[in-house]
Amino acid sequence: MYSLQHLLTHFDRKERHALLEKVFGDNIRHIPNAFIAEIQKELPIVIPNNHTWFLDYHIDWIEAAIFFYLEDTDLNDECCFPRCGGEGYPKFTLDFTQRDIDFLIYFKENDSDNLIMIEAKYDTRWGNKQVNIKLDRLEAIYKNYTQLNKTKNKQVNINFYYILMSPVKPQKLSTTTKWSWIKLNKSDKLHTVSRCDKNKRKTKDGDYWSFFKATN
């Protein structure tokens, strides 16, 4: 009934995205070719011009969009589904929080729906716990999709791709999910503010504050 692109768009309630569209107009709808080229260098895909992107997109929304895509449910229907599974449905991973994907790209090519999920770190480093919480959940959503696809005898093909971005490539991440990496350029002129003592030594309970050069 609905395309996956249509459903993803209907769940997008982020004010940042709406603000960027208001400020920059229609030109912001397409990702610059230079960044497209960087992605295509890392992934075995070709991103067409009719792609769609989303900012800070909730993982709950990804799961819901994929489910309704397979379920052929009208968004105007008054229906509900068992959160913990049963009645022919898998156990959903919905946690009703704002846990999100920093940047989501969707495109369709050769009857396949493709989701590129990009997570970025700029001023801090990647940690196993943080990365695995998201990757494990997304893999659970993918597993549910394949199960529903089979149960409902659908011929839907959805591909997930994961990209991490940071100034320095993670070296000690331990994940069971394959991910790619793209360098995120960082200025060496950044500063931060912090509490300190009167000799400008950082301390969490200092009675003074000052600026400090930002470091990873």
Residue 85 has pLDDT above 70, yes or no: yes
Output the CA torsion 120→124→125→128 (10° steps).
Answer: -80
Which 3-state string (H, E, C) describes 166-212?
Answer: ECCCCCCCCCCCCCEEEECCCCCCCEEEEEECCCCCECCCCCEEEEE
Average pLDDT of the segment spanning 66-74: 86
Distance between CA atoms of residues 31 and 15, nearest Å: 19
Q: Which two tokens stand for residue 35?
A: 């960044």
pLDDT digits (tens, 9 = 90+) for 102-147: 999 999 998 899 999 999 998 778 889 989 999 999 999 999 999 8
pLDDT of 87 reads 76
Residue 186 has pLDDT above 90, yes or no: no
Residue 210 has pLDDT above 90, yes or no: yes
CB 103 within 8 A of CB 12: no
| DSSP H or E stretch at residue 84 | none
Higher pLDDT, 184 or 152: 184
pLDDT of 47 reads 96
Residue 169 has pLDDT above 60, yes or no: yes
pLDDT of 123 reads 78
- Reported as a pLDDT band with limits 50, 70 and 90, residue 29 is confident
pLDDT of 42 reads 97
Q: Residues, the chain, total?
A: 216
pLDDT of 216 reads 57
Mean pLDDT of the chain: 91
- Reported as a pLDDT band with limits 50, 70 and 90, residue 207 is very high
Give the predicted TM-score (pTM) of the model: 0.90
Residue whose C-alpha is closest to residue 50's, from 6, 108, 1: 108
- Phi-psi map region of 73: left, alpha, beta (phi>0 left; psi -120 to 50 alpha): beta
Q: Can you name the residues that pair with 183 across neighbouring β-strands?
A: 166
Distance between CA atoms of residues 48 and 42, nearest Å: 16
CA distances for 37 relative to 31, 169, 211, angstroms: 10, 19, 38
SS3 164: strand
Average pLDDT of the segment spanning 29-36: 92
Residue 215 has pLDDT above 80, yes or no: no
CB 52 within 8 A of CB 106: yes
